[in-house]
Structure 1
Amino acid sequence: MKTQIITPLLLLVTTLFFAQSGHIMQGVGAVNMSMGGAATGQPLDISGALQWNPAAISQFDHNTLKLDVGLFFSSPKLYSTVPEFGQDGQPTGNFFSGSTADDRGSSVMPNLAYIWSKEGSKHTFGFSAFGISGFGVTFPESMTNPVNMPQSMGGFGRIESDYMLLQIGLSWAYELSEKFSIGVQPNFDFATLELMPNPTMYPNSSGYPSTDKASALGFGAQFGVFYKSEFGFKAGVSYKTKQSFADFEFDNTYPNGETAKNNFQMDYPAIFSIGLGYSLSNFDFALDYRFVDYENTEGFANTGWTENASVAGFGWNNISIVSAGIQFRGINKLPLRLGYTYNSNPIPSEVTFYNIPATAVIKNAYQFGLSYLVNKNWQLDGVFHYGDSSGKTSGSLLNPMFADAYPPYGAIPYSEVSYDMTTSMIMLGISYKFNSGQEKSK
């Protein structure tokens, strides 16, 4: 019987992340997204430079304001299978399987950037306010999917998360010579998080609680080096330190109405980027590689159950990201761009269960973008993005009471939980150059 599904499903846990490269946006703004996020060694616009290599803003010789707004759509799906048990507590040999589609809809992505520069000066300054992570997921309660059955019936009910990270950066770049620039950028971060249910808090007799929307402040920095040759070759290296956050302080409400508080720290991982670029005639090529250090980041480094059945951490692996893009400038006032992004999966199969609904781990992403140069001051940009997870992330359902019998996390025999998804996005941008100075040669 469905109501006799294995009781430990009540201990199902979920985490908050909903983005593309783990919980890191692959690019910022329509131009940078259309190049697959590559900008460390090929800065085509100020947003990409400010996000991935502060030294690269030295390539812009005019004051520029840029605004981008995107509309992001996703189609995650959650699957689970559990063995059914009879009145005697023994498995019947039958299984109960189902799936649930997300019904959240779209999310808005705003980005604002500004560059202060002067032709002939060795100094360039920048300001950025980027939503570098800010999505959520909603899997409604269901009687046909074990994971989403009501907590009173051994499932987890409605699974919902709402997470946003806004990063404000103040950048400075200095030209050591005509070929070399260095840059530094202190970052100030603001994040909000709401969870239903909350796996970072222990359950009571009625299940796991839901939270209010908690917020936390963070800080970090980014450093970069940029090189530009005389024959079109460019290269860049940058390092964004771990963004250290204060604790999220949750006010929890259990299904039976009881309340409790708990704290949880979740930092943003350090990112190392190296990029190459080459410009020839009407073509610009860009290639970036990024290494994301989840394994030394609070909230991700630890994994497993605590002694009171809450989650110690989410156990993510370090990941690699490869971004590539090409721009064609052969059509008057209408640059065209193609981009591709590859992301490895940070979630090991043995902890898939801990990371519902971390469904936005997109393995392959494809972008097409273009710009329209209205005049010497105004530019309009656009991009379309499509991504897919290239198969399911899957693993066993886990139960802390089974940890001794099935170490290390208590995998329930013959059970499975998995998720996959596709994403799409339309983003439009507009930029204005406040002076008529000429951008440094590509």
Structure 2
Amino acid sequence: MQVARSAQKLYWTVIFALLCSHSVNAQGLLISAAGPVNRSMGGASTAAPIDALGALYWNPATISGLAASETEFSLDLLFANHTLASTAGNAHGETEADPGVFPIPNIGWVHKSTNPALTYGLGVNAVAGFKTNLQTDPSNPVLAPQAGGGLGRVSSEASFMQLAPVISYSLTERLSIAAGPTITTGQLGIEPFVFDSPNSNGYSSGRSTRYHWGAGFQVGAFYIYDDEWRFGASLKSPTWMEKFDFNGEDATGGPRTLTADIDLPLVLSLGTSYAGIDRWLFACDVRFVDYANTAGLGDPAEFDGTGRLVGLDWSSVLATALGAQFQVHDGIAIRGGYTYNQNPVSNNEAFFNVASPLIYQHMLSTGLSIQTAPTTAVNIGYSYMLDSNRTGPIFAPGSGALAGTSVENSLDAHFLSFGLSVYQ
């Protein structure tokens, strides 16, 4: 079939979406919250310091606003339901992915020094990561065996962990500033691998030879206007990763080293919070995520002369997080939140993102904290990513959209988050 022959020519075009599948859940490829407290607030914490993890993750200057020294531990569990459907001519099929459960650990430590102006912090966070596995499906044109013009099995996984020590300094009783480096380690697995040139018989699979390292920095400011209103701002620089090396194979099955340049984006956050109603706290964050100027993600979606995919051509986006907390009494607090993200990938580009379903737009969150001892609290959070559906045509290199074709990604996802806070 002519459509099948065209699909075989462009199979490397589709696969470039594999990189996107290390998006965990969130603002494109970034995790939108750290721990159950921050998650239950929808990720809003740039001007609302109510826990160590949320303060360290989105605005390090807010650790000066915490009431006491704190150590917080958490584990998120991500459950994703992803379905990929495609149509080419009279052929149509639908396939469910089987990524399983993805764990996301976080640790936050905040220490109030003997100098009341100085507060130290350390965050250890999973900032990005995902796993997907779409099995070969002869009835699904995009996932049909490669010999029949499809992609065959599509598999990818990733894990990015970040170590972020910070120092926050109170310039006055109302204004604090903070800064610190961000040290990141990450690993990727992509099959097939399109970020390097193909062999004579097609693209190899690729698995990171090791965990790779990167670095950046973050700065923040936190201002207490009065007893009711607070404002915050923070900037996370791009995380400049070293070039990734992957174990691959050449056309004869021998060893081959593949490479790719992939960074994490700059994030600018602005926030405000209001506590003028008895027992209530309201928070709002607005973030700018600069995918367009990030290596690998913002580079043009085109192939060079060797057949290597240059980038994904993602657009920069805005995201909004809203959260509310009600203090039932001294030992129990309940929370709710909502998160909205612009999509860096248009509906027309659904074909190029068959393995990046976690670029969601709407997420609802809730949770609570229960103080079990004078210095200990148990935290629980839950988030639901509302069903996201993107549909667009199949594209062929040099030809554009193919008539009579379509690719549809559908996804919803659940987060369960558990944690423990210990105060000093």
TM-score, normalised relative to structure 2: 0.93
Residue 9 of structure 1: how far off its partner (Å): 4.7
Residue 209 of structure 1: how far off its partner (Å): 1.3
Give the equivalent residue in structure 2 for 1:82.
88
Tell me the distance in 2 between the aligned counterparts of 1:205 and 1:146. Answer: 23
Conserved in 2, the CA contact under 8 Å of 1:247 and 1:266? Answer: yes
Deviations 1:139-160 (A, max 9, x none): 1111111111111221111111
Residue 206 of structure 1: how far off its partner (Å): 3.2
Residue 4 of structure 1: how far off its partner (Å): 5.1
Of 4, 15, 25, the residue aligned with 2:18 is 15
Conserved in 2, the CA contact under 8 Å of 1:340 and 1:366? Answer: yes
Give the equivalent residue in structure 1 for 2:311.
313
1:388 aligns with 2:386: yes
Give the equivalent residue in structure 1 for 2:76.
70
Change (3 A) 1:308 1:81: farther
Give the equivalent residue in structure 2 for 1:431.
421
Tell me the distance in 1 between the aligned counterparts of 2:326 and 2:385. Answer: 23
Change (3 A) 1:73 1:290: same
Q: Secondary structure at the match of 2:31?
A: coil
1:277 aligns with 2:278: no
Q: Percent identity?
A: 29
Conserved in 2, the CA contact under 8 Å of 1:172 and 1:185? Answer: yes
Conserved in 2, the CA contact under 8 Å of 1:141 and 1:157? Answer: yes
Q: Secondary structure at the match of 2:332?
A: coil
Give the equivalent residue in structure 1 for 2:182.
187
Give the equivalent residue in structure 2 for 1:37.
43
1:135 aligns with 2:125: no
Deviations 1:11-62 (A, max 9, x none): 3323223322210111101000000000001111110110111110001243
Q: Which amino acid aligns with 1:397?
A: I
The structure with the largest alpha-carbon Rg is 1
Question: What is the Cα-based RMSD across aligned positions, in Å?
Answer: 1.9
Conserved in 1, the CA contact under 8 Å of 2:113 and 2:120? Answer: no
Deviations 1:386-411 (A, max 9, x none): 0024432x3332333xx1xx3xxx33
1:247 aligns with 2:261: no
Give the equivalent residue in structure 2 for 1:148.
143
Give the equivalent residue in structure 2 for 1:439.
none
Change (3 A) 1:250 1:416: same
Of 209, 221, 233, the residue aligned with 2:229 is 233
Residue 349 of structure 1: how far off its partner (Å): 4.0
Give the equivalent residue in structure 1 for 2:156.
161
Deviations 1:141-189 (A, max 9, x none): 1111111111122111111111111010011101111111001121000
1:368 aligns with 2:366: yes
Conserved in 1, the CA contact under 8 Å of 2:366 and 2:381? Answer: yes
Deviations 1:83-117 (A, max 9, x none): 3xxxxxxxxxxx21112111111101100111111
Deviations 1:317-336 (A, max 9, x none): 01111000000002441100
Deviations 1:292-345 (A, max 9, x none): 001111001222222233311001001111000000002441100001000110
Unaligned runs of 5+ in 1: 84-94, 436-442
1:222 aligns with 2:221: no
Conserved in 1, the CA contact under 8 Å of 2:18 and 2:191? Answer: no
Q: Which amino acid aligns with 2:392?
A: G
Bigger shift: residues 383-392 or 122-131: 383-392
Of 38, 44, 53, the residue aligned with 1:47 is 53
Residue 374 of structure 1: how far off its partner (Å): 1.3
Give the equivalent residue in structure 2 for 1:295.
292
Q: Which amino acid aligns with 2:243?
A: D
Q: Which amino acid aligns with 1:191?
A: G
Deviations 1:254-294 (A, max 9, x none): 68635432211111100000000011310010000000001
Of 164, 170, 183, the residue aligned with 1:175 is 170
Change (3 A) 1:61 1:129: same
Conserved in 1, the CA contact under 8 Å of 2:206 and 2:258? Answer: no
Conserved in 1, the CA contact under 8 Å of 2:183 and 2:214? Answer: yes
Bigger shift: residues 6-15 or 371-380: 6-15
Bigger shift: residues 65-74 or 300-309: 300-309
Q: Which amino acid aligns with 1:282?
A: R
1:121 aligns with 2:121: no
Give the equivalent residue in structure 1 for 2:62.
56
Tell me the distance in 2 between the aligned counterparts of 1:175 and 1:374. Answer: 31
Tell me the distance in 1 between the aligned counterparts of 2:236 and 2:263. Answer: 13
Change (3 A) 1:61 1:399: same
Change (3 A) 1:178 1:144: same
TM-score, normalised relative to structure 1: 0.90
Q: Which runs of 4+ in 1 moved over 4 A?
A: 1-5
Q: Which amino acid aligns with 2:68?
A: H
Unaligned runs of 5+ in 2: none
Residue 413 of structure 1: how far off its partner (Å): 3.0
Bigger shift: residues 124-133 or 209-218: 209-218
